[in-house]
Amino acid sequence: MDRRVVFLLACTVCGSIACAPNGRIADDSRTEACNRELLAGLASLGTALGLPYAVPDNSGSILIDTGHAELIYVQGGVKHACRFGLKGSDASCELAMFEKSEYRPGVTETRSGDYGKVALKDCRCAR
C-alpha cells in the first residue's frame, strides 16, 4: 500500500458544518515534550478512528509552527486526507481532527466535523 504524508502549511477554508481550529502553541510551550505529545496525539487519533496513516517525526514541529497538519494515506486505491488543528486557550489546549477528504478519479468528497480530539498537557495554546 502506498502511504504518503503531506502537511498543510496554510489554514484550510472549510464549509458551513465546521471550521478549522485556529489555535497555535504558545511561544513558551514550544518544547520537545510538547512535540512528543503532539506526535502521540496524532497516533492516538489514528488508532482510535481506525485510520492507517503514518505519523512522521516532523509532524509535531509542523503543528507547533503552523497550528495545522494534514496526513494523507492511500487505501484500496483511494487517496484519503485527514486534517488536524489546535484549539484552546491558556487554560486548555486540544489537538482535533476536523476534516476528512477522499479523492477518487473525477470526484473529491470533503467532510468537516468533530472527528475526535486529544487533550494536551505538555502543550499550551496561545490566546
Q: Taking the model in full, what pTM does it have?
A: 0.81
Identify the burial level of 102 via C-beta atoms within 10 angstroms of its C-beta, where 0-12 means exposed, 13-18 middle and 19 or more buried: middle
pLDDT tens column, 73-111: 999 999 999 999 999 866 789 999 999 999 999 999 999
pLDDT of amino acid 13: 35
Highest mean pLDDT among 8-12, 17-21, 91-95: 91-95
* Interval 33-43 mean pLDDT: 97
Digit-coded pLDDT (tens) for 43-72: 999 999 999 999 999 999 999 999 999 999
pLDDT of residue 3: 30
Confidence of residue 12 (pLDDT cuts 50, 70, 90): very low
pLDDT of amino acid 90: 62
What single string gives the DSSP state of each residue in the chain?
---------SPPP--SS-------B-GGG-SHHHHHHHHHHHHHHHHHHT------TTHHHHHHHHSEEEEEEEETTEEEEEEEEEEE-SS-EEEEEEEEEEEETTEEEEEEEEEEEEE-SS--B--
Residue 35 in this model has a pLDDT that exceeds 90: yes
Contact 21, 41 (CB under 8 A): no
